[in-house]
A and B are shown apart, each in its own frame.
Chain A
Amino acid sequence: MRAQIAQRTLRTDRWWLPPLATFAGLLLISIYAAVRTFMGDHYWVDEYRYLTPMYSPCLTEECLPNAAHFGRLLPELPGFLTPPVIIIPFLLGFRVTCYYYRKAYYRAAWMSPPACAVAEPHAKYTGETRFPLIAQNLHRYFFYAASLLLLINVYDAFYAFSTGIGLGNIVLLVNVGLLAAYTLSCHSCRHIAGGRLKHFSKHPVRYWAWTQISKLNAKHMQLAWASLIFVCVTDLYVALVASGTIADLRFVN
């Protein structure tokens, strides 16, 4: 028989603040991403070849011809659907199954638990043993897909340099830098690179890769937030330039 303590928690600090801030942050970003996804406009600056990462690659018939770097391979989407709906399942899947985001939303949205040593409100708990949460084990597939999309983002960022250098180029470059750091710091990447080995001494290159990724992995939470926020900043910048709201600050040409 456990000690009989009626209170849900005896914590006296503001334990509710981190989950609340996480929930608010994720909600705001989700709303922004949804609005931009279904806007279907202001994603390409033809003059400077800026393409927002949210629409990259643009693969469907309704894409602006110059924004479709790999061609308009897919037919026009029905109804209110826009080009990003092709790639968003992969990007969203990578973030949703990410070990950091799992912690974040299990705590903030599902309150399982809301904070350490604070009782959760659910009567039953089966963790990640059943459908749908057993699908969290697919994280590495989303990692593979996100890595491919990252390479395309890198291509877009360098392609934009073909017209000169402006603030938009710097924004796109920082964006792919943060996305690359977040993707490389992923726990699945750490495992694939070398974590799954039993004998590091027999695989010195993979051991080196594992130690470097482990250093990045220690900052996975910070990189998750920085890259997520900066994708929105990048998209907003491209949208503002594309819509003519602001002019791009040019350094060269």
Chain B
Amino acid sequence: MGYQGHFRVWRGSDEGGGLEDFTVEVNEGEVVLDVIHRLQATQTPDLAVRWNCKAGKCGSCSAEINGKPRLLCMTRMSVFAEDETVTVTPMRTFPVIRDLVTDVSYNYQKAREIPAFKPPAGVAPGEYRMQQVDVERSQEFRKCIECFLCNNTCHVIRDHEENKESFAGPRFLMRVAELEMHPLDQADRVQEAQSSHGLGLCNITKCCTEVCPEHIKITDNALIPMKERVADRRYDPIVWLGNKLFRNKS
């Protein structure tokens, strides 16, 4: 059975804007993106929203629903009471372009700053050989759909714009972890994670994990293991001594 739902949608651009109220039809089985599309079709033809797959796999429709960073296409209307006002706003951490659409180029910039996979010398593509158990950890991180909800919710940059320059955000620290754990990657990722990508700024409050629509254990499986690797390298004199005594000889 359908009903008339109350929506508050942020409308505006980088020059300003605000929340506007709408009453719009909601039908059984719909998600928030369906209702936003109905708003476009019936009341606000110029409402800007970025979307693509409607299946939680393209990462395009990231926004904030009742203050929580979520995908519009994966948020069922059935989780809200019929008399509840549903507030939809753009992601707060990134510059707004218009209405619900933000400029996420910060993320592409950070992606470019991470050196690519570095295979062993003399091993060409097609000659990579590795065990399944060795690549499983990295494969979890490949589930990422690049919705950037983790970077959006991370308070390091959400509440402190000035940290954007030095902090890659959970998405790209996870990329560093993916490469660091890759059995064939030869680059030194640990030093870079701390000095260039701002791992030390992360205080592991786990919001990135909470909002991940792919349920990747970003904090436990990527960020904390990277912090432990940094501790190995920088803060553990026993490991340092072991490396001096044994690794140099070999």
Distance between Cα atoms of A200 and B137 in the complex (Å): 10
Whether B114 is near chain A, meaning CB under 8 Å from some CB there, is: no
Evaluate contact between A103 and B206: CB separation under 8 angstroms: yes
Given contacts A10-B64, A103-B204, A140-B231, contact A124 B96 (CB under 8 A): no
**Which chain A residues in 200-229 approach chain B with CB under 8 Å?**
200-201, 207, 217-218
The smallest C-beta distance from A8 to any residue of chain B, in angstroms, reads 10
Contact digits for B143-178, partner A, Cβ 8 Å, 1 yes 0 no: 000000000010110111001000000000000000
Main secondary structure, interface of B, reads mixed
Whether A117 is near chain B, meaning CB under 8 Å from some CB there, is: yes
Given contacts A12-B66, A117-B68, A127-B200, contact A195 B225 (CB under 8 A): yes
Distance between Cα atoms of A134 and B203 in the complex (Å): 10
Residues in B neighbouring A2, C-beta threshold 8 A = 92-96
Q: Which residue of A lies closest to B210 (CB)?
A: A116
Given contacts A2-B96, A137-B231, A201-B133, contact A102 B66 (CB under 8 A): no
Evaluate contact between B17 and A4: CB separation under 8 angstroms: yes
The smallest C-beta distance from B219 to any residue of chain A, in angstroms, reads 8
Whether A250 is near chain B, meaning CB under 8 Å from some CB there, is: no
**Which chain A residues in 171-221 approach chain B with CB under 8 Å?**
187-188, 191, 195-196, 198-201, 207, 217-218
Distance between Cα atoms of A103 and B66 in the complex (Å): 24
Given contacts A9-B67, A128-B202, contact A3 B228 (CB under 8 A): no
The smallest C-beta distance from B14 to any residue of chain A, in angstroms, reads 4
Distance between Cα atoms of A140 and B238 in the complex (Å): 11
**Partner among A116, A137, A207 whose Cβ is within 8 Å of the Cβ of B235:** A137
Whether A170 is near chain B, meaning CB under 8 Å from some CB there, is: no
Residues in A neighbouring B211, C-beta threshold 8 A = 116-117
The smallest C-beta distance from A75 to any residue of chain B, in angstroms, reads 30
Given contacts A2-B95, A5-B89, A187-B228, contact A11 B205 (CB under 8 A): no
**Partner among B66, B90, B155, B204 whose Cβ is within 8 Å of the Cβ of A11:** B66
Whether A70 is near chain B, meaning CB under 8 Å from some CB there, is: no
Main secondary structure, interface of A, reads loop
Evaluate contact between B68 and A116: CB separation under 8 angstroms: yes
Whether A81 is near chain B, meaning CB under 8 Å from some CB there, is: no
Evaluate contact between A106 and B96: CB separation under 8 angstroms: no
Whether A61 is near chain B, meaning CB under 8 Å from some CB there, is: no
Whether A129 is near chain B, meaning CB under 8 Å from some CB there, is: yes
Contact digits for B193-230, partner A, Cβ 8 Å, 1 yes 0 no: 00000101111111100110000000010001101111
Evaluate contact between B204 and A99: CB separation under 8 angstroms: yes
Evaluate contact between B155 and A120: CB separation under 8 angstroms: yes
Distance between Cα atoms of A113 and B160 in the complex (Å): 12
Whether B87 is near chain A, meaning CB under 8 Å from some CB there, is: yes
Distance between Cα atoms of A133 and B159 in the complex (Å): 19
Whether A107 is near chain B, meaning CB under 8 Å from some CB there, is: yes
Whether A27 is near chain B, meaning CB under 8 Å from some CB there, is: no
Distance between Cα atoms of A112 and B206 in the complex (Å): 11
The smallest C-beta distance from A101 to any residue of chain B, in angstroms, reads 10
Evaluate contact between B133 and A207: CB separation under 8 angstroms: yes
The smallest C-beta distance from A64 to any residue of chain B, in angstroms, reads 36
Whether A21 is near chain B, meaning CB under 8 Å from some CB there, is: no
Distance between Cα atoms of A201 and B131 in the complex (Å): 7
**Which chain A residues in 75-113 approach chain B with CB under 8 Å?**
99, 102-103, 106-107, 112-113
Residues in B neighbouring A124, C-beta threshold 8 A = 160
Evaluate contact between A199 and B12: CB separation under 8 angstroms: no
Whether B25 is near chain A, meaning CB under 8 Å from some CB there, is: no
Distance between Cα atoms of A112 and B64 in the complex (Å): 20
Evaluate contact between B67 and A196: CB separation under 8 angstroms: no
Whether B115 is near chain A, meaning CB under 8 Å from some CB there, is: no
Evaluate contact between A128 and B225: CB separation under 8 angstroms: no
Given contacts A103-B206, A113-B207, A196-B228, contact A128 B92 (CB under 8 A): no
**Partner among B14, B205, B235 whose Cβ is within 8 Å of the Cβ of A138:** B235
Evaluate contact between B156 and A117: CB separation under 8 angstroms: no
Evaluate contact between B203 and A106: CB separation under 8 angstroms: yes
Q: Besides A119-B155, A125-B163, 18 other CB < 8 A contacts? A: A3-B17, A3-B90, A3-B96, A10-B66, A11-B67, A11-B68, A12-B66, A13-B68, A103-B204, A103-B205, A106-B204, A112-B205, A113-B207, A117-B68, A122-B159, A126-B201, A127-B201, A133-B203
Interface residues of B (CB under 8 A from A): 10, 12, 14-19, 64, 66-69, 84, 87, 89-90, 92-96, 102, 131, 133-134, 153, 155-156, 158-160, 163, 181-183, 198, 200-207, 210-211, 220, 224-225, 227-232, 234-236
